[in-house]
Chain A
């Protein structure tokens, strides 16, 4: 979706935390990206290479940890990974589920020196 504003926000958060830690350089960013978050890691990387230039986070390595979508059936509480199409519980066949994981989009930590 909106990888440019998202990447700008990512850079700002990383620089804020690096500054608070009196870091001279940001070496890497550890990002958590849920399967349902509709983010594309290649485009984040693309914008990053442009906007992080001339900051202390230039050349930082972006690491993406993908979190698969996980649902919990509202009828029988079975946890399952949805497949395309209808989200049907593999155990009881009911539809209707709560999302347990897969929506997150977080900066978990940064590596600095």
Chain B
């Protein structure tokens, strides 16, 4: 006899459950964690490089870098003074997922850190769909990408907790309407905190560093 069985299960459930486990491990160790997502070249690694020296002596930081291949980015994080640096090669996958972060957490003694910075694979679409279990998702936008990105990638802009707008040193050279960009951001994600800054000149870093320290202290 044909019959219908009610299921009502979120199809991305398996990843979500693992993400919750990762979160529980981080919480148990008192580590605050962020997931940096951005398109390739927006400046995720540069942001980590500029952030680490400013946290020196204040927070113990571990960096996890996801890349399709190479350990270039985790080498840069280590050189910039990360207390630990772990590379995840995704072997072709265009995003990190909760299983991969679990593997990286296994390689770290979480009791030794206050803050975990995860650099996701450069990609504006897929990382937004796979939770890792980190506390905050930080989108790194950058001026040369153009001011229409919130409108073109609404799912990504909608789901993030914090927005860094990098490369503001290029504002005089690139057509970028900050108000148009911000309007799109606020429409999709009202009240989201934004930090316009430059990894080259260091302008705008104070607010970002303060945000990291405050959130880490809370955890």
Contact = CB atoms under 8 A, between A and B. Distances in A.
- The yes or no verdict on A and B being binding partners is yes
Interface of A: 1-2, 6, 9-10, 12-14, 17-18, 21, 23, 27, 30-31, 36, 38, 74, 85-88, 95-97, 99, 105-113
Nearest to B184: A86
B2 A106 contact: no
Interface of B: 1-14, 125-126, 129, 151, 154-155, 158, 183-184, 186-188, 190
Contacts, number: 83
6 contacts: A1-B129, A14-B7, A17-B5, A107-B7, A107-B11, A108-B6
B160 to A, nearest CB: 14
Contact of A85 (B9, B151, B155): B151
B90 to A, nearest CB: 13
B183 A105 contact: no
A110 B187 contact: no
Query: Which of B3, B126, B187 gathers the greatest number of chain A CB atoms within 10 Å?
Result: B187
Contacts of B158: 99
A113 B2 contact: yes
A95 B185 CA distance: 10
